[in-house]
Structure 1
C-alpha cells in the first residue's frame, strides 16, 4: 500500500507542475430553452482529449497544443454538433453551445430514461474497442439503483437482469456468486469476470473463480454480455461480466465524496472517493473500509479496498494510464448446517474456528492511440498477485468440532497478461462497416498448498505447527494465446450482420506432491496438455422502427479443463489421458426496444448446449479392484425464456406530474436445464452398476427466476420495493430430494424475499440512504456446500437494516 500511494503522490506532484497552462477553451452548453445541460461529452475530434460539462453546463479544456480543431459535442437525446475552431498559444477561447433535441432512437431512449431512475440499459452497437451489435447484453447502472451498495447486495443489484441466479451465502459482501441459464453460480466461474476490461480472477482458463469483487459504491456500471461475448473476450459459456469503475470527473479539477453506512449486526462501512481533471491529466482514487458481524453466529468480516487511477494525454493521439487495486480481507466463516439445525435456528453455527482471507493486488497499464480518424488502438497489460487462505475444522457438518488441530489450505496466484485491440471504421458498397480485432497473451501460475496441520486455536492463523508440512503441494501453470476478429456489415439503415472468429491455444502443466500417507510421499503424475482450436460466431439485428429491433446470435463456447479436473480426490483415481475441454454454443433470438419515453423491454429465447461435460465414473478392473475414472461423460442443454420490461404509467398518461413518477419493472426467466446422454455408475456390494442422468435437471438451476419492483420518485427523493421469487433447485445431478445426513445433497426449496430501499439527494451535496433487506424475515437458503465455506446448508440472511449518510464536494 505504501508503494501505491507513493506512486500516486509522485503523479499528483507531476500534475501540479503541469498546471502552468498554455491556453484554455471554455464555454457553456445549453438547450433550446437556455437551460444548462450537464454531462455533455465535448471531444476534440481525432484526439484523445475530452471533457464533460458540469452541473451548470460549463466546461473547460486546458493545455491544448496550438492548432486547428473540430469540437465534437455529443449527448444522447440531442443532435450531434461539430464546431471548427483555432487556438493559439496562451489564448483563452470561449465557445458557447446550444443543443437541439434529436428524434427518439433506441440508444437515445436508453440514455434519457437512465437519467431518471431506470438502472438497466444496453450497450451501443459499437463501443470504443468492441462490437456489441447482434448480442444480448445488459448494462446495470449501479449508481442509479436503490440498493444496499455498502454490502454489495447482489439480489438488488441484479434485480433487473433476467435469469441471474445468485448464491446468497456470503453476508460480508466480499464474494459474488452469480450465473445464468442453468450454469453453476460458484464464485461466478462460468462468467469471464473482468474489471475495466482486464482479468481479475486467478486464471480464466484454469481456475476462473472470482474471489475479488470491487465495492459497488465505486462501480459505475456492470456490463453483461451473454455467451455471444466468446469471440471477443473468451469462451466462457456464461459470457462476459465486466465491472466498470467510476472514471475521473472530467468536469472538475477536484471532487470528493464520502459515504458512511451503519446497519444491523454491527455493520460499519466508510467509502471515500476523490478525482478530477486538470489539463492533460485526470485521476481518481478511493478507499473503503467495511467491518461487522454477519447475520449468523460465529461470523465476522473486516475488509479494506483501495484503488488509484491516473491518466495522461501524452499528445493529442496518445493516452496512457496506470491503475492499481488492492484488497485485504479477514472473514470468519460460520460453516454449514444440517436440515434439522436450519429448521430449528438458521442463525446457529457449530463452527467458531473457521477463517478465510484473500489478499488481492491488481496492477494494470493502459494505452490508447488514434492512428487515423477511423482507426484506434488499445493496449492493456495487467497482473494479479493474490492469495486464497483458509483455516478451520473441515469435517462433515454433522460431526462435532473436536477442538484439535485445524486444517490449513493456501493458494498463491501470480499471473500477468496483455491484450492489444484495434477497431476501424471503413466504407463498403456505400455503407459504413466496423472491424474489431485483437491479440491476447496470458500466463498464470498457481502454487497450491493444502492439507496442512494448523494450530488448535480460534483466531485467524494460517501458520503450520512446528515441524508441520502441507501434505499436498503442487504447481499449476497455464499459458493462453488468442487472436480474434469480428466485423459488422451494415446492409441498410435497418439491417446489420456480425461475423467473428477466435483462435485459442492453451498449454497447461501440473506437477508436484499429491499426498503424504504413513510418511510416504505420493507424487502426482505430471499433467501436460496443449490444445488449439477455433471458435465462430454470427449475429444480426433488424430494426422494425428506430426504437425497436429483432436480434439473434449464435456463438461457440468451451470450458477448458480446470485445475480441479486434473486433481484426483484419491491416488487410486485415474484421469483420462484424452480428457477434452467441454464444448458447446449459445443461441439467442429476441426482440427489444422502447415505446416512446415511457416503456422499454427486452424479451427473448435462448438455447445453451454444454457438451463433453466432465465427470467421474467407477470402473472395475480385471483383478476385481474398482477405481474412479474422470473423463468426458455427456452433455446438458439449457433453454428457455428471458424477459425484462420497465414501465412508467405516469409519463404514459400525463407526460408530466407535480406529484412524482412511478416506474414498475418485471424481470422474468424460465429455465429448463436438463442432462442429455450422461453416463453414471455406482458401486453396490462391490459391483459396478451403470446408469444415466438423461432427463434429470441440472444441479443449482432453478426453473423460475422472477423479480418484480416499483420505484416512486419525487424530485431528488426515490424509494424502491422489490420481490425476488425463485423456484426450487437440486443440489446434485441425481436430483436427490431427501437430504443426506451431512446435508450436502437434497432439494433447495423455492423462496420469496422482499427488499425496500430509499435515497435522497439534498442540494446535490448531501446524500441520505436507508433500507430494509429481507423485509419479511424469510428463512431460506440457496446453496448446499460440499466443502468450504460449508459443508452443509448455507443460509441466506434474515432481516437487516442500514442507514447511509454521504457528502459530495
Structure 2
C-alpha cells in the first residue's frame, strides 16, 4: 500500500499542464480591500483554489472551453462569472464582493463577533444533514490546550457532552452525549475525513486513536439521526476533519512547539500546499511528558501524509496514510481513602499500555454534472492494543511477580460508495443521497498471558495465552435519504438503511489445569434489518429555523458480549442487537454575527440492553446467562447560546471584542426495566433496576465561558459545572473497598487559555488548566487501567510558540 501510494505521488508530481490555459485574478471587497482565503471553484468540476494573502488566485491547467467561476467568502455575497478559454489563453477575471449578513455552511468566525460552534449546511458534501441536530466545532475558534487534546475545552460549547477525564496524556478520547457511556467514545460512530478509524464499528467500536487536535480543522457532530447514513450508533456521528492542503500557495511550513509542567513537550510540524492539480499535506507530532500523577509517563508519535490530484476537471483522486505509536504508563486506580489523601499518588508502577495504529485510505470524487456527483472511499486499519501490568483490585499490593499481558490485533478493510443527486419533482427542488457500504473486520484477542516480572513495557509472554480468540465481522449496507422541498421555508427528509451483519467467533477460551488449550464453541450469527427515519426543517427567518427528526438506531452485539468470562457461563444463542430510536425538536440560528443559538429537546429510547443474570440448569447448578435484559430512556433539554455584546451594541470596537457563551444540558437517563439476579444462601433472588439512574450519566452538564479579543490578543476563561453520577446501574452510593462502585461526586473546574499573534507569521499560546487545582474524578474503573478511582488532572500550565511560513 505504501509503495503504491508513493508511486502515485511520483506519477502526478511529474505531470505537466502542457499547452493549457488558466484563469487568474484578484478578489476584493466593495472597499477594494483584498480578501485572502476566499474560495474559488469551477462549478460542476472538482477544481478549486483559495485566494492568497494578497487576494490573488490562479486556476491552471484548463482545457479550452466555457467555465463558470464561483467565488465565496464568509460574510459576503457569492459571485459567479462565465469565462471562455481559447487554446492556451491566460484569462484575468477579478471579483469584487459585496457585504451580506447571512452566513451559510461551515465557516470560521471573523475577529469580531461570536467565537464558537457553527452548524452544518443542509447538504454536507455527500451527506444530508437537514433536520438533524448537529454541531461543527471549529478548532481555530477555540482558545484551548490543543497540544494535549484537552477534550473538556474542545467540547465546551457542545451541550450534553460528558467527558471522561482519566487520560491526561491526550492519547485517547472518552466522550458521550445524552446519558450514554463515554468509554472510549464507543457510542459514537467515530470517523476521520468520513471513514472509520475504530477497530470495528460492528464488533469493537472503541476509539483508541485520536488525531492531534493541532491538525484537526473541525469536528462534525451529528446526533442520533445520523444512523440512517452512518450506521451503528445511538450517540451519532463524530467526524474529525483534518486540515486540507492550502489551495492558495505552493508551500506552507508550520511548526508548533509547546512546553509545560510535568515535563510536557510537544512538537507539531506541518508542510502542505498546492501546485497546479496536485495538493499535498504531511505532518509529524512528537508529544511526551511525565503526567500529573506518579507513574503516568507518556511518549507518542503521530505522522500523516495526504495527496490529491485532479486527473481531469471532473475527477479527483487522493490517498492518506496515518500512523501513531504510543508508549503510556498507567498509574492505575485509587481507593477513596487514597484519593482523599493524595490524588497524585499511584499504587501501580509496572502497568503499561501501547496501541500502534496504521490507517490508510484511497478516495475518488467524480462530478457527473452540475446536479450529481459520486464518491468512493476505500479504507483500512492495521492496529494493536497491548497492555501489561498487575490488574487485580487496587486493595491488593503488587507482589512484583509476573505481570499479565493482553493483546488485540486488528485488521479492517472497507469501501463506501456515495451518490448525491439534485432533482426536480414538479416545482419541488429536491436532493437525494444514496450509498453502499462493505466492511470486513478481523480481531485476534490474546489475553491472560504470563509476562515479565520487570518494570518496563515488554509484551513478551511465557508459554501460551490462556485465551486466544478470533472474531470476524462482515457488514453490508445500503442507504438512501432524500430532501423534499415543497415550499421555500419548509423541507422534509425521509430515509432508510438496510443492514446485513455476519459475526463469527472461534478459538481458545482457556487452559486446563494441565495447561492444555480449551477450544471455545464456535459461534456464528447473521442478522439483517431496516432502519427508518424522517425529519423536517422550517425556516422562520433567513438565519433561524425549527428542526425535528426521528430515526431508528441500533448497537450491534459486541465481540466482548459473545465472550463468556468463565467456561461455565452461557451466552444466549439468540442474543440480539440493542435497538431503539432518537427524537429531536429544536430551534437554532444566528442573528447577524453577534448571536448564535441552538435550543432543543431530545428523547433517546435504548432497548434490548445486554446483561447477565443467574439461572439454574437441569442439574440444579447455578450459572451466569448473558442475554437482552434492559431498557432505558434518556430525555432532556440542551441549549447553546453565544453572544457578543460589543459587536451587538458598539459600532466601533476600539476596546476589543467580547464573546460570552453558555452550553447547558438537563438530562434524565433512567432505566425503565432491567432484570437482575443475585445468589443468596445458594438461592437466586430476582430484582429490577427500574427507576435507577443510568451509570456514568450526570443529570447536569453545564459549561460557561467568555472570550476577549483585541488585535492579535485573544484570552478565554471557562467553567465546567457537572453534577454527580453513579459508577454502577444499582446506584450504589457508598463505595466498595476496591472503589469500583460508588458515587462519582459533582465537580466544578475552571480553565484559562490565550494566544497572541505577532509579526504575521508567529503566535504565542498559553494557558492554565484547572486553575483552582480542584480534586475530582469522572470515572471509577472496573478493569484496566484501574481498577478504582482514576483522578482527573489537577492544575497544569502550558506555553507554546507557533510559526508559519508561506511561499
TM bin (shorter chain): over 0.9
Question: Deviation per CA, 1:491-511, whole angstroms, max 9, x where unpaired?
Answer: 111100000000000000001
Question: How far, CA to CA, are the matches of 2:356 and 2:128 in structure 1?
Answer: 34
Residue 93 of structure 1: aligned partner: 91
Which residues of 2 match residues 776-791 of structure 1 at below 5 A? 776-791=772-787
Question: How far, CA to CA, are the matches of 1:500 and 1:109 in structure 2?
Answer: 24
Residue 469 of structure 2: aligned partner: 474
Residue 416 of structure 1: aligned partner: 413
The secondary structure found in structure 2 opposite 1:228 is helix
Residue 578 of structure 2: aligned partner: 582
Question: How far, CA to CA, are the matches of 2:167 and 2:279 in structure 1?
Answer: 36
The secondary structure found in structure 1 opposite 2:62 is coil
Residue 46 of structure 2: aligned partner: 48
Residue 358 of structure 1: aligned partner: 355
Question: Deviation per CA, 1:609-664, whole angstroms, max 9, x where unpaired?
Answer: 00011100011234331100000112000000100000001111113311101000
Is 2:596 the counterpart of 1:600?
yes
- 8 Å contact kept, 1:409–1:452: yes
Deviation at 1:44, TM superposition (A): 1.1
- 8 Å contact kept, 1:298–1:332: yes
Question: Deviation per CA, 1:23-50, whole angstroms, max 9, x where unpaired?
Answer: 3321110110101112211111111111
- 8 Å contact kept, 2:327–2:352: yes
Is 2:716 the counterpart of 1:750?
no
Alignment counterpart, residue 620 of structure 2, candidates 610, 618, 624: 624
Is 2:494 the counterpart of 1:496?
no
The secondary structure found in structure 2 opposite 1:162 is coil
Residue 544 of structure 2: aligned partner: 548
- 8 Å contact kept, 1:109–1:594: no
CA pair 20-217 structure 1, distance change in 2 beyond 3 A: farther
CA pair 106-82 structure 1, distance change in 2 beyond 3 A: closer
Gaps of 5+ in 2: none
Question: How far, CA to CA, are the matches of 2:512 and 2:19 in structure 1?
Answer: 71
The secondary structure found in structure 2 opposite 1:688 is strand
CA pair 9-756 structure 1, distance change in 2 beyond 3 A: farther
Question: How far, CA to CA, are the matches of 1:373 and 1:786 in structure 2?
Answer: 55
The secondary structure found in structure 1 opposite 2:447 is strand
- 8 Å contact kept, 1:142–1:219: yes
Question: How far, CA to CA, are the matches of 2:106 and 2:518 in structure 1?
Answer: 63
Residue 513 of structure 2: aligned partner: 518
Is 2:135 the counterpart of 1:138?
yes
Which segments of structure 1 move beyond 6 Å, counting only runs of 4 or more? none
Residue 63 of structure 2: aligned partner: 65
Question: How far, CA to CA, are the matches of 2:329 and 2:11 in structure 1?
Answer: 41
- 8 Å contact kept, 1:19–1:278: no
Is 2:313 the counterpart of 1:288?
no
Which residues of 2 match residues 261-660 of structure 1 at below 5 A? 261-465=258-462, 468-519=463-514, 520-660=516-656
Q: Which moved more, 1:210-219 or 1:587-596?
A: 587-596
Deviation at 1:105, TM superposition (A): 3.1
The secondary structure found in structure 1 opposite 2:521 is strand
Residue 34 of structure 1: aligned partner: 32
Gaps of 5+ in 1: none
Question: How far, CA to CA, are the matches of 2:580 and 2:670 in structure 1?
Answer: 15
Deviation at 1:550, TM superposition (A): 0.7
CA pair 619-305 structure 1, distance change in 2 beyond 3 A: same
The secondary structure found in structure 1 opposite 2:562 is coil
Question: How far, CA to CA, are the matches of 2:39 and 2:536 in structure 1?
Answer: 29
Deviation at 1:269, TM superposition (A): 0.5
Question: How far, CA to CA, are the matches of 1:508 and 1:431 in structure 2?
Answer: 43
The secondary structure found in structure 2 opposite 1:423 is strand
Question: How far, CA to CA, are the matches of 2:389 and 2:15 in structure 1?
Answer: 53
Question: How far, CA to CA, are the matches of 1:178 and 1:424 in structure 2?
Answer: 34
Deviation at 1:763, TM superposition (A): 3.1
Deviation at 1:737, TM superposition (A): 0.4
Q: Which moved more, 1:115-124 or 1:618-627?
A: 115-124
Question: How far, CA to CA, are the matches of 2:526 and 2:685 in structure 1?
Answer: 34
CA pair 321-109 structure 1, distance change in 2 beyond 3 A: closer
Residue 167 of structure 1: aligned partner: 164
The secondary structure found in structure 2 opposite 1:231 is helix
Deviation at 1:110, TM superposition (A): 6.1
Is 2:761 the counterpart of 1:768?
no
Question: Deviation per CA, 1:531-590, whole angstroms, max 9, x where unpaired?
Answer: 010000101011111111111000100001000110011111110111111000000001
CA pair 106-88 structure 1, distance change in 2 beyond 3 A: closer
- 8 Å contact kept, 1:778–1:798: yes
Which residues of 2 match residues 169-208 of structure 1 at below 5 A? 169-208=166-205
- 8 Å contact kept, 1:114–1:121: no
Residue 150 of structure 2: aligned partner: 153
Question: How far, CA to CA, are the matches of 1:86 and 1:335 in structure 2?
Answer: 67
- 8 Å contact kept, 2:371–2:423: yes
Question: How far, CA to CA, are the matches of 2:512 and 2:652 in structure 1?
Answer: 76
- 8 Å contact kept, 1:702–1:727: yes
Deviation at 1:128, TM superposition (A): 1.2
Question: How far, CA to CA, are the matches of 1:678 and 1:733 in structure 2?
Answer: 9
Which residues of 2 match residues 247-258 of structure 1 at below 5 A? 247-258=244-255
- 8 Å contact kept, 1:26–1:58: yes
Relative to the length of structure 2, the TM-score reads 0.98
- 8 Å contact kept, 1:198–1:382: yes
Question: Deviation per CA, 1:482-535, whole angstroms, max 9, x where unpaired?
Answer: 000000001111100000000000000001100113024322111111001000
- 8 Å contact kept, 1:77–1:109: no
Give aligned pairs, total: 804
- 8 Å contact kept, 2:114–2:596: no
Question: Deviation per CA, 1:340-399, whole angstroms, max 9, x where unpaired?
Answer: 110000001011110000000001000000112101000000000000000001111100
- 8 Å contact kept, 1:499–1:538: yes
Question: How far, CA to CA, are the matches of 1:107 and 1:739 in structure 2?
Answer: 51
Question: How far, CA to CA, are the matches of 1:763 and 1:5 in structure 2?
Answer: 41
Residue 665 of structure 1: aligned partner: 661
Deviation at 1:74, TM superposition (A): 2.0
